[in-house]
Structure formats: structure tokens, C-alpha cells
Amino acid sequence: MIVTQALVGPRHHGVVRFGLALHDTLQSCGLPLRQVWQPGTAELSRALDGGALHVQFTDRLFGDSPQAAAGVLAALARRSESRLTVTLHDLPQPSDGQNFARRAAAYADVVARCAGVAVSSAHERELLRDLGVDVGPVAVIPLPIGRRAPAHVRPAEPRVIGVFGFLYPGKGHEEVIAATADLPPEVEVHAIGETSSGHQDLVAELTAQAHLLGRRFHVTGHIPDDLLTEALQRVAVPVVAHTHVSASGSLGSWLSASRRPLAPTNRYTREVEERNPGMLTLYPDTGRGLRTALARALESPESTWLPEDSVPRPTDADAAFAYHHFFQRWHR
């Protein structure tokens, strides 16, 4: 049985990019997967034929509220002639604040309507368990890390600390700026990427925060794919400092650029480190952990690069074959 992958949203959104890349890798490995990608849920519904369906799901792309998004999935489940499967992204967790309960209920409803569920980390599976969801049908298929690029660019002055990905509250920019308080004034903090919709005011807030410490904060804006590796290799210190990460594509991007990023010690980063020993610089997520890690990295820039013989896992092909087996299990 041929499975159709359903994608909703703009091309640059991380979930859409993930789905498009997964489809391309499956095709290159000779593994079948149809694809329907539409800008909105109404267009998606009209484009689907009712056959075997796998959905890349995050509530923010499928509706104006978590409950509306779950309703769209319920309608797709009713239409599907086969068992519906889903990959869940951006899982609910208490740091969602007032929206946590609504998101939790919506994701639990989605899981209940699907035969098979994939998540991108064991940490995410535990988040579902924390919600009281039966994780029996939940498979962990970690986010793939693209083929590693040669380490050919060296950091330029002034010394730059880089945080990669969409700029939004909780991404870690505020924490990184605060952690530079004891560093030399020429050290800058750069947000590599564009500002998420609705969070433009955050740029002014972060700029003012940095100014109070006597340093510069800079937002690069969108970086085209063909220039991204160079941008990630040009900074002095790569940092992944999410305050509520569940699975991180930006962390994988640093690794594929041959960088060894600083990251807080938590359930997710320990999981990545176990799969890729020595490829992260983990720091205690309390007190002065990040301050100390930044100072050490600036003093030892070689520590921010991966050894030449390291191969981050899983590769694109690893993930493609894992999804192929997942589809074979639930769409027989």
C-alpha cells in the first residue's frame, strides 16, 4: 500500500521543511511515499483521495486553536479508508503556560484517533506519557541530521555567539545575552534566522537587553539554504539554549555544519549526546552554567568544532528507513 504524506503550511516552516525533506530522502532511497502539500487545511482536504494517510502535525499549522486543529485531524481520520498515522511536532509541556491544558487535550485527542504515532525523541514520548496518553503505539524516530559539511570556515572578528533558528520567546536568546555579562564588550550575540510571526517586538526587547550590558545584538534575517553552512561556521560559539525544547532541528543543523554546540543538560540533550557521544558541550542548566560554558568556548575555539571523523546520527537515510518500517507496520 502506498502512503500519502499530508503537509500544511508555508514552505519555510520547520515542520513542512521536515516533511518535504523526508519525502525526498525516501524517494532517493527507492522507498515509496506520495505527498500532498497545501497552504491551508481546506485545500488539503480537497486534495486528498481518502487512501492511506500520514500527517505531519503541529496544532499551530492546523487551526486557530488546539481544539480546531484536533478537529481537522478528526475529519481526516473519518475520511481515511486506511488507518491514519501521524508525526507529532512541538508537543505540549508545562512551559506553554495558560495554553498547556488546551494543547494537551488536543494532542491526546489526535493520538486517540490515530493507529500509529511517531515522535522525534524519547523525550517527546515521555511528554505524552506525562499527559496520561497510552504510548504503546508511539514510535521514536529521531530527527535526521544532514550530511556533515567540511569545516572550512573559521570564526571572524568580532567574536560572535550564535543562536540559530526562528526567533521567538523561549528560544534562548534572552538567556544567552544575560550570560554574556562577564564577557569582553566586543563579544556579540547574533540570532541566525528570522523573527517568528507575531514576535517582532522581541527584537527591540533583546536589543535593549544587550545594550544595557554594553554589547550588540544582531538578527541576520532569513538565510538561504545554500548559505546556511557558511553562516553557522562563521560564528565563534554555537549555542542551543531553548527553554522548553522537545526535539531540535536547529541542534541538528549545527552538527551538520561540523559545529559542536553548547546546550543545557536536560532529558532531550542527554538523549542526543548518548546517540552522538562527544558531539555536544553540555552545561548545567542552573546558576552560572551557561556563563562558564561561553567563557570556556571563547578561550578554546577548537572545542566548538566536531572531530573530522565524527558522523552525526541518525543520517537522512537512517530516518527514511525508520519511517518506511513505521509505514509498513501501520499501513498494511
Tens-place pLDDT, residues 51-106: 899 999 999 999 999 999 999 999 999 887 668 999 999 999 888 889 999 999 99
As a whole number of angstroms, the distance between CA 6 and CA 17 comes to 12
Residue 278 lies in a domain: yes
Full-model pTM: 0.90
Same domain, 124 and 72: yes
> Structural domain of residue 117, as residue ranges?
4-144+315-330
pLDDT the model gives residue 64: 93
Same domain, 289 and 171: yes
pLDDT the model gives residue 81: 67
> Is the backbone of residue 287 left (phi > 0), alpha (psi -120 to 50) or beta?
left
Same domain, 135 and 252: no
Q: What is the pLDDT of residues 78-93, one digit of tens each?
A: 887 668 999 999 999 8
Residue 309 lies in a domain: no
Residue 150 lies in a domain: no
φ and ψ at residue 149, rounded to 5 degrees? -85, 150
Nearest to 315 by CA among 139, 143, 89, 121: 143
As given in the structure block, the three cell numbers for residue 282 are: 553540555
Same domain, 222 and 170: yes
Same domain, 185 and 275: yes
Same domain, 132 and 199: no
As given in the structure block, the three cell numbers for residue 184 are: 569582553
Please check the confidence at residue 112 and state whether its pLDDT lies above 80: yes
Residue 198 lies in a domain: yes
pLDDT the model gives residue 181: 95
Same domain, 195 and 285: yes
Same domain, 326 and 244: no
Same domain, 247 and 322: no
Percent of the chain with pLDDT over 90: 78
Residue 123 lies in a domain: yes
- Supply the CATH number for residue 168's domain: 3.40.50.2000
Full 3-state SS string of 283-328: ECCCCCHHHHHHHHHHHCHHHHECCCCCCCCCCHHHHHHHHHHHHH
As given in the structure block, the three cell numbers for residue 221 are: 534575517
Residue 310 lies in a domain: no
Burial grade of 5 (CB within 10 A; 0-12, 13-18, 19 or more): buried
Task: Name the band, by pLDDT with cuts 50, 70 and 90, for residue 156.
Answer: low
As a whole number of angstroms, the distance between CA 313 and CA 110 comes to 29
Burial grade of 34 (CB within 10 A; 0-12, 13-18, 19 or more): middle
The larger pLDDT score, comparing residue 154 to residue 232, is at 232
Please list the residues that pair with 116 across neighbouring strands: 85
Residue 247 lies in a domain: yes
Number of folded domains that form the chain: 2
Same domain, 295 and 322: no
Give exposure, 280-302, as e/b (b: 16+ Cβ within 10 Å). Answer: bbbbeeeeebbbebbbebbeeee
Q: What is the pLDDT of residues 234-282, one digit of tens each?
A: 999 999 998 777 778 889 999 999 999 999 999 999 999 999 999 999 9
Same domain, 294 and 319: no
Count of all residues that appear for the chain in the document? 332
Any residues with CB less than 8 A from the CB of 170 and at least 6 apart, and which?
95, 242, 243, 244
As a whole number of angstroms, the distance between CA 169 and CA 47 comes to 35
Contact 5, 19 (CB under 8 A): yes
Same domain, 186 and 291: yes
Residue 120 lies in a domain: yes
